Chains A and B, each alone.
Chain A
Amino acid sequence: MGETKGKQKLITGIAKFRELGLLGFIGVLVVFFQILNPKFLSLDNLNNLITNTAILVILSIGMMLVLITRGIDLSVGSTLALSGMISALFVSQHPNAHPLAALFLGILIGVICGVVLGFFVSRVGILPIIASLGLMNILRGTTFWVSGGEWVSAHQMPASFKGIATGEIFGVNTLVVIAIIIFLVFYYFVGFTVTGRQIYAVGSNPDSADISGINQKNILLLVYSIMGGLSGLAGVLWVSKFASAQGDTASGYELTVIAACILGGVSIAGGSGKIVGVLLGAVLLGIIDNALPLIKVSPFWQMAIEGIIILTGVLFNTFTKRAVERNNLMRRAI
């Protein structure tokens, strides 16, 4: 009796797992790509995959918080570029500086951008899409201006700086370690702290949140500052990884980040989204980016295939969610 009950609980658990659809879809994709190119699941390739996806994960976590509050941040790419460029310029002129200084500088710049955006959204009341669109242009222009039209190249960067991205901690690439740490920190923050819960409240129902005494404006400011800080961090990591800082770095990357979040189940209307889902969404996109060049298909087909995969993934996720919800409703009836 107890055995079957235990089993039932497991199945119930799985059935309730809203991210099931996404996980299943990823599984299908992995199998699909592995068949087309057996090198896909090699250790080396998987290493490439997670290293390349690490930055996307970091950004997606920040974007998730913004989306939950019914906002959006289109300036992610530009913030990334600006902080990356400034920290690259910094280390090129101060080669003896500790790489942590560069990281700190990048995060600081990102936070400043985020605070500015948060200010416009929360105090002036501009809609996030417009404010971030405007800021995106401003920051991109600033990046070009600050760089003076030049790129910062590998030979101008000290080895310590480049080592941020290529180094390893306990045998795992630093970028991945940072991504894991951020994931854990925010998993705790979002799920187990009062502020984290408040963010969800503001997104679900701003009026009730207001009445409950939650300071909406401060929460919004916080959320955009976090996004900015994470973008700044990502900027330094990006520039270190590619050992190059260009004016047009990450142009358009914000759409990829938003896609990762939405694929991961974050609702654009705010109020819901799980960090695990976001992680899966980022991983899904990372798999697509990694696997498409591996399968022997004409490069001109890559974009269309990517579009089909995302569309299918989203629809698949929808159908699974409907099934799970129906399942939940039925169980509740019992």
Chain B
Amino acid sequence: MEPRFEPRTISSYKEFSWKRVFLKWEWLLVGILLIIFFINSMLSPYFLNYFNITDATRSFLDKAFIVFPMVMIMLMREIDISVGSTVALSSVIMATVYSMGLPMELAIIVCLLVGALCGYINGYLIVKFKELSAVIVTLSTMILYRGIAYMMLEDQSIGGFPSWFTYFGWGSIATLPFILIVFILLSFIFTLLLHKTVFGRNIYAIGSNPNAARFSGVNVDKIKRIVYTLAGLMAAVTAIFLTSRMGSTRPNIANMYELDVIAMVALGGISTAGGKGNMYGAIIAVFVIGYLQYGLGLINIPAQILLIIIGLLLIMSVSITNLKSSRKLTIFKKKNKEQVL
């Protein structure tokens, strides 16, 4: 019978090998991305066009901003399904204060503050009432936030933003879409945050073993509050780009965005069992799903087939990881991991 715990010795440190590097999930994703590019370029002559490829990012990157904090949230075995509603609410409030006379620059700041506040409320409730799971708290706030947006705007829309505001959704810097540049910048920041700071290390610790983390002196509550606030903040960023792209806003925007974000994070290799996965995977997954949808859209695949393909992609890709990892070397066989979802 196999011993349950394997003793760690010098010999168990494997030598560096390219093979092991490339078997990592992130590289598999890159491979999938290349395959998608290859197939799409075969399928449609319009795909491999520089402007088309860069323009395509405008469609799927708006919700990708939320992927960054969602990775952190899911690493800690939590979840946030209220992000779509936060997008709607911050957008609606931004438009409302603008229409009441506030200069657009300030309205944007208000939007960011509202998003951060919505996120903070989530974090506060989750931390303060430990009996309440993140699911039920964010489910209630999901309904509540969008409900407030409806109360404010009812069936109207607000538009008429200053012309420079369209720059967010439609502008470019040196032929690269503005949204792509912002996304790349934020990718750097969040990747550094998660992988190179103590804060990031703590997030992994909390995900792996919350009790051990707490006893090691990690301020679990504070970190959770911060991460949820970040989620709200990024939702507000999404709101700015989305509103700019539409030129107007209503309470019903960003419907089901949370599921799309979760799919991107899950495809990126983040395990909701906590503690496993990294930011690179999620970033690549964003592009995988985005270009898959775009490429298939170029040959006008019906939406229902697209749904099936994405569902299959999700399941198959995670199946492969699971079959792989059962052969991976681990220090402790993760049998006593607590799965939240």
Contacts and interface: CB of A to CB of B under 8 A. Distances in A.
A72 B340 CA distance: 9
Contacts of B315: 120, 126, 130-131, 134-135, 138
Contacts of A168: none
Interface in A135-149: 135-145
Chain A contact residues: over half helix, strand or loop, or mixed? helix
B139 A129 contact: no
A182 interface: no
Interface in B251-289: 256, 259, 262-263, 266, 271-273
Nearest to B134: A268
B338 A269 contact: yes
Contact of A262 (B135, B326, B341): B135
A304 B310 contact: no
Contact of B314 (A134, A263, A267): A134
B312 A321 contact: no
A310 B311 contact: no
Contacts of B310: 134, 137
A280 B92 CA distance: 35
Contacts of B129: 315, 318
Nearest to A307: B144
Interface string A261-304: 01100011110000000000000000000000000001011111
Interface residues of B, number: 54
Contacts of B81: 255
B341 A311 contact: no
B48 interface: no
B185 interface: no
A140 B341 contact: no
B151 A304 contact: yes
A303 B133 contact: no
Contacts of B154: 298, 300
Contacts of A162: none
B308 A125 contact: no
B319 interface: yes
A127 B132 contact: no
Given A300-B155, A307-B145, A133 B263 contact: yes
Given A259-B136, A302-B147, A137 B272 contact: no
Contact of B305 (A131, A145, A207, A262): A145
Given A137-B311, A304-B148, A310-B139, A129 B319 contact: no
Interface in B321-341: 322-323, 326, 335-336, 338-341
A252 B306 CA distance: 18
B307 A141 contact: yes
A269 B256 CA distance: 24
Nearest to A310: B140
Given A141-B305, A262-B135, A311-B141, 4 more contacts: A207-B336, A268-B133, A269-B340, A314-B132
4 nearest interchain CB pairs? A307-B144, A304-B147, A137-B311, A303-B147
6 contacts: A71-B341, A134-B313, A137-B308, A140-B307, A300-B155, A304-B151
